[in-house]
Amino acid sequence: MDNRICGVHAVYEALASRRQPIERIHIARETHSGKVKELLDLARERGVPVRKEERSILDRMAQGEVHQGVVAISGEVSYADFEVLLKEEKPLVVVLDGVEDPHNLGAVIRTAEACKASGVVVPERHSAPLSATVVKASAGASAHLPIVRVKNVASAIDELKERGLWVVGIDPAGTQNWTSFDYTGPVALVLGGEHRGLRRLVREHCDVLLRLPMLGKIESLNISVAAGVVLYEVVRQRQLT
């Protein structure tokens, strides 16, 4: 498992959230920024050991990732319970049907957290694990946003529907544009994986299918871009109410 977290901000957020156990932190000897001092103070408070290293050692540990002089070694991130998705009066849940690229998963988590989503649902199979790459790509958002792992996406959708959420699939098969839906109530947004989109069974379990019009030559958007477009439409509508 990739258990490295690289970068000052990502390591600080992982420490601050307490959701991800940090075993130790390696810091380049010449790294002295204000944010690094905050990180060191927090590590001391949390009882996490810190090792000062030559930058060449951190370069090897980071394996090509941008580390800014800080690399942490973490334990496994804990997944959240399903019930945490339903704590808000008007939940906004993002359901991902098979996002296997860790950079895409991290980017979706980052945007979902920025839009104050209640959480992200991922399947046990055909999904990137919550690795250090995901944590880095999320810019620390994975430390604050609940990530729920389920055995079956279609069953999870049915559970959300039973709990009062409208389930909106984003898919080229949709007959209406994404802006035509009223997102001001409890809602779950369902987006497919990088290559296959929503699976047929998952599409059939959605209440409605909406599409993002593609006006150029390509047929689809990157999953994180599509998620951002739809999530900020939710934010726009909810801010108007």
Are 223 and 192 in contact by the 8 Å Cβ rule? The answer is: yes
- Domains in the chain, number: 2
Least confident of 127-131, 182-186, 233-237: 127-131
The amino acid sitting at 10 is A
Per the document, the length of the chain is 241
Residue at which a domain ends, from 25, 43, 74: 74
Query: 221 or 170, which is more confident?
Result: 170
Q: How far apart are CA 29 and CA 17, in angstroms?
A: 26
Q: Are residues 25 and 95 in the same domain?
A: no
CATH number of the structural domain spanning residue 18: 3.30.1330.30
Nearest to 131, CA basis, from 150, 105, 98, 160: 105
Indicate whether this model's pTM tops 0.85: no
Q: Are residues 157 and 39 in the same domain?
A: no
pLDDT tens digit sequence for 73-97: 887 667 899 999 999 999 999 999 9
Q: Are residues 89 and 208 in the same domain?
A: yes
Whether 119 shows a pLDDT value over 70: the answer reads yes
Whether 2 shows a pLDDT value over 70: the answer reads no
Structural domain span for residue 119? 82-240
Whether 161 shows a pLDDT value over 90: the answer reads yes
Looking at the chain, the whole-number percentage of residues with pLDDT higher than 70 is 98
Q: Are residues 18 and 94 in the same domain?
A: no
Are 122 and 99 in contact by the 8 Å Cβ rule? The answer is: yes
Residue at which a domain ends, from 29, 52, 74: 74
Q: Are residues 69 and 124 in the same domain?
A: no
Residue-level pLDDT at 169: 97
